[in-house]
């Protein structure tokens, strides 16, 4: 049996396809760079990162976008030998009434790329997708955002536009085909055709504990669409006992053996706070068809904690990253921009100084998803600067307003490097160690964070063997969508950061990074 979620940590809005026996899932990446994570598997149990298609500025420019903006709900599809990726680059979203949501399409013959220059389609709404008819006719689907309305009504329905199969430019008027149900906030549309029916899958209820996936069908592409007898395919709104919560927003595909699979968004609260520091994750459930309608195989709306796929998941092991390896490049991301870094001859990672922790322009970090409730991350950093405004260290973050940085910097009062904690709590800044910063001998120190579900501690060592715990408790639950104000959409990341607010010329050398999964 395969345990859900199959993609742990920040993996929201899954778009799943199956091509020649290989499963691919595309997930949102929001303000992180490169954009859109595509994972692949042959057994639904073991997944590897296949590509980050939006890996150059021509395809993705995120400088200046606010927190939880950027890449929303990509759609991956495949037709006639070509992969198609539809994506939205959200420039602004958090304050009514407007959302700036340009939608694009890029294509590639191979999942690894190269991916074509982006083709702009429209900016009427987000969560765009592509439907391919058997004859090659193509249709672009997205939600309509109506700024004139109030509250949930701004999610005004699902729009359909025919596009040219070669140029991918719109060639028809846009038609609204579905307005959703009384659950409200209709979004995340995908269209599938089976046995003469067009099936419209949409997410509803908002991406929190009211979330659901709604299904409707029609004999005609443009409708009218009748709603599923149960209305929703999946929802845990009335199942507080389920390990998987916030279930909804997903996509289906058929396996070579004829079975059907549904990849869906879910969240797992760390404790009674109902906060999910791992963010929105990806689960999978088998679906069956009854009287022309899809149902979860268990014939409820509550997904299975485990399912019978095609393999067994390999046990998690400690990861000692080699900064020159493909695994490092696939696991670690930058924030909004390509990280400014170099790999030295001895394999050391050099990070150059970027903007402050609150900038939306040029922060410089390399971070990876927190994929386990309990984990340990350790790095070794060297900093030769003799100015307090150049700093580097171990960052544990959600966004600009909720983050921890255990940083090494020069202290002119003591004449040596010291360790301190910088903490942002819903935008409120503090330095918990105050005047009691920890003196360091020399320029090099090992930094560690150990998290056990909700709480954790930083520690440090000068020899890499004997670590001293810093007496300040870290609250991992504050690094969550649920704690962010307004609601966020990402998840916790841990990694390496370098800041230079003096002249931008500073740098720090990181000699190692180890991620050790704990016992969840």
Q: What are phi and psi of 331, to 5 degrees?
A: -90, -30
Binning pLDDT at 50, 70 and 90, where does residue 365 land? very high
Q: Can you read off the two tokens belonging to residue 159?
A: 């729009």
Q: How far is CA 264 from the centre of its chain?
A: 13
Q: Are strands 493-500 and 375-382 parallel, antiparallel or unpaired?
A: unpaired
Which residue has better confidence, 100 or 314? 100
Instruction: Give tens-digit pLDDT for 318-343.
Output: 999 999 999 999 999 999 999 999 99
Binning pLDDT at 50, 70 and 90, where does residue 486 land? very high
13 flagged as catalytic: yes
Binning pLDDT at 50, 70 and 90, where does residue 354 land? very high
> What pLDDT sits at residue 481?
98
C-beta separation of 460 from 449 below 8 A = no
Q: Could you tell me which residues come within 8 angstroms of residue 497 by beta carbon, excluding any fewer than 6 positions away? A: 351, 354, 357, 363, 364, 365, 367, 392, 393, 394, 395, 405, 407
The three-state secondary structure class of 185 is coil
C-beta separation of 99 from 68 below 8 A = no
> What pLDDT sits at residue 316?
78
Q: Is the pLDDT of residue 317 over 90?
A: no
Catalytic hit among 31, 127, 187, 204: 187
Q: Can you read off the two tokens belonging to residue 399?
A: 């966004």
Binning pLDDT at 50, 70 and 90, where does residue 4 land? very high
> What pLDDT sits at residue 314?
87
Tell me the C-alpha to C-alpha distance, in Å, between residue 476 and each of 209, 240, 422, 517. 20, 22, 15, 15
Q: Taking all residues of the chain, what is their mean pLDDT, rounded to a whole number? A: 97
Within 180-225, strands assigned E span 187-194, 197-204, 212-218
First-to-final CA distance of the chain: 18
Can you list the alpha helix ranges (DSSP code H) found in 306-443?
Answer: 326-331
Q: Could you tell me which residues come within 8 angstroms of residue 340 by beta carbon, excluding any fewer than 6 positions away? A: 351, 352, 354, 364
Instruction: Give tens-digit pLDDT for 94-135.
Output: 999 999 999 999 999 999 999 999 999 999 999 999 999 999
How far is it, in rounded angstroms, from Cα 520 to Cα 518?
6
Whole-structure pTM value? 0.97
> What pLDDT sits at residue 112?
97
Q: Is the pLDDT of residue 161 over 90?
A: yes
Q: Is the pLDDT of residue 364 over 90?
A: yes
Binning pLDDT at 50, 70 and 90, where does residue 375 land? very high
C-beta neighbour count of 6 within 10 angstroms: 24
Instruction: Give tens-digit pLDDT for 162-216.
Output: 999 999 999 999 999 999 999 999 999 999 999 999 999 999 999 999 999 999 9
How far is it, in rounded angstroms, from Cα 2 to Cα 421?
39
How far is it, in rounded angstroms, from Cα 36 to Cα 30?
8
Geometric angle at alpha carbon 392, from 387 and 393, rounded to 5°:
140
Instruction: Give tens-digit pLDDT for 19-51.
Output: 999 999 999 999 999 999 999 999 999 999 999
Q: Is the pLDDT of residue 520 over 90?
A: no
> What pLDDT sits at residue 498?
98
């Amino acid at each position: 049996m395969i345990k859900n979620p199959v993609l742990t940590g920040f993996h929201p809005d899954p778009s799943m396809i199956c091509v020649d026996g290989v499963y691919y899932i595309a997930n949102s990446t929001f303000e992180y760079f490169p954009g859109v994570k595509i994972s692949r598997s042959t057994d639904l149990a073991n997944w590897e990162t296949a590509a980050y298609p939006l890996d150059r500025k021509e395809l993705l420019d995120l400088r200046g976008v606010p927190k939880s903006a950027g890449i929303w709900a990509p759609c991956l599809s495949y037709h006639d030998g070509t992969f198609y990726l539809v994506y939205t680059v959200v420039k602004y979203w958090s304050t009514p009434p407007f959302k700036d949501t340009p939608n694009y399409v890029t294509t590639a013959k191979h999942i690894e790329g190269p991916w074509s220059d982006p083709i702009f389609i429209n900016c009427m709404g987000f969560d765009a997708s592509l439907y391919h008819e058997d004859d090659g006719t193509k249709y672009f689907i997205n939600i309509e955002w109506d700024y004139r309305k109030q509250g949930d009504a701004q999610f005004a329905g699902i729009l359909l536009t025919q596009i040219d199969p070669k140029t991918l430019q719109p060639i028809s008027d846009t038609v609204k085909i579905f307005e959703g149900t009384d659950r409200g906030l209709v979004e995340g549309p995908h269209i599938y055709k089976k046995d003469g029916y067009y099936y419209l899958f949409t997410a509803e209820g908002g991406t929190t504990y009211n979330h659901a996936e709604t299904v409707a069908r029609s004999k005609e592409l443009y409708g009218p669409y009748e709603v599923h007898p149960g209305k929703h395919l999946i929802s845990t709104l009335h199942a507080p006992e389920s390990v998987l919560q916030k279930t909804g927003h997903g996509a289906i595909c058929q396996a070579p053996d004829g079975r059907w699979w549904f990849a869906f968004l879910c969240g797992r609260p760390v404790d009674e706070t109902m906060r999910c520091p791992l963010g929105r994750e990806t689960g999978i459930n088998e679906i069956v068809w009854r009287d022309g309608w899809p149902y979860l195989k268990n014939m409820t709306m509550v997904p299975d904690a485990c399912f019978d796929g095609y393999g067994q998941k390999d046990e998690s092991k400690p990861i000692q990253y080699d900064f020159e390896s493909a695994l490092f490049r696939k696991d670690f991301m930058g924030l909004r921009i390509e990280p400014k870094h170099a790999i030295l001859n001895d394999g050391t990672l050099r990070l150059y100084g970027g903007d402050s922790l609150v900038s939306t322009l040029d922060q410089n970090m390399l971070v990876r998803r927190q994929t386990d409730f309990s984990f340990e991350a350790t790095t070794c950093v060297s900093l030769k600067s003799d100015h307090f405004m150049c700093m580097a260290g171990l960052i544990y973050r959600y966004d600009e307003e909720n983050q921890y940085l255990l940083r090494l910097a020069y202290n002119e009062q003591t004449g040596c490097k010291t360790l301190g904690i910088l903490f942002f709590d819903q935008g409120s800044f503090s330095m918990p160690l105050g005047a009691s910063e920890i003196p360091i001998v020399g320029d090099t120190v090992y930094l560690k964070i150990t998290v056990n579900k909700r709480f954790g501690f930083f520690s440090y060592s000068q020899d890499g063997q004997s670590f001293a715990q810093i007496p300040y408790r870290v609250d991992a639950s504050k690094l969550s969508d649920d704690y962010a104000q307004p609601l966020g959409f990402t998840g916790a990341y841990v990694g390496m950061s370098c800041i230079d607010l003096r002249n931008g010329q500073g740098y720090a050398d990181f000699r190692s990074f180890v991620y050790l999964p704990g016992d969840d």
